Chain A
């Protein structure tokens, strides 16, 4: 069975702080994909990143970076110099095989960035 765990339910930081959101996954499949989605107060889930199980290279996109480590089954997400607009619920998700949109979601981490 597959499972995604986001142990941090809520995180509160002050603007310009760096923050890391943790994600741990479980699967027996060798081919799988990992995702991060952002859900702002408006409610729509916004795709941030997709990673396949064969590519452990870390990725940076502006203030966002992702650290994928198969050895610890983790796919952590770091926001550098956080901004108030980063306030949202962030979901980590897993899909296996060729079913990219059939996602197993973690419970989400609510990030609050205060000015």
Chain B
């Protein structure tokens, strides 16, 4: 596609429910990243996929967070048993290789009530 696409753009969920956020990277980009942007914490790295390598999960805040990337393209970020502190904008980015600039999607605004 022309740019990184994320869905849904907004998600409201009840505390304790699971949510899935989707990211479609730019076609041909081998690297994919998830970030979280919240008022108190700024922009935080969550996870990084590069080709067929094992993902770098060093930024995931707890074991309630997980992500997968199927077929080297679409990625899903899953948050289990959501908490109010999970409320944030979740941003996805992709790049052509690991060493080049990343292009970001519009983000998914998650609100946990």
Contact = CB atoms under 8 A, between A and B. Distances in A.
Contacts of B43: 91, 93, 103, 105, 108
A52 B31 CA distance: 19
Interface in B28-68: 31, 33, 35, 42-45, 48, 56
A43 B106 contact: yes
Nearest to B107: A43
Q: Which of A43, A91, A102, A108 has the most CB of B within 10 A?
A: A102
Given A91-B43, A108-B42, A101 B105 contact: no
A93 B93 CA distance: 14
A21 to B, nearest CB: 16
Contacts, number: 66
B106 A44 contact: yes
Given A35-B101, A47-B102, A101 B48 contact: yes
Given A47-B101, A93-B43, 8 more contacts: A43-B106, A47-B102, A99-B98, A102-B33, A102-B45, A102-B48, A102-B56, A104-B45
A47 B103 contact: yes
A107 B107 contact: no
Interface in A57-115: 91, 93, 98-108
A99 B104 contact: no
Nearest to B32: A101
A11 to B, nearest CB: 17
B46 to A, nearest CB: 10
A45 B93 CA distance: 9
Interface residues of B, number: 25
Contacts of A105: 42-44
Q: Which of A37, A44, A108 has the most CB of B within 10 A?
A: A44
B112 to A, nearest CB: 19
A35 B33 CA distance: 16
A50 interface: yes
B99 interface: yes
A98 B95 CA distance: 12
B79 interface: no
Q: Which of B95, B102, B104 has the most CB of A within 10 A?
A: B102
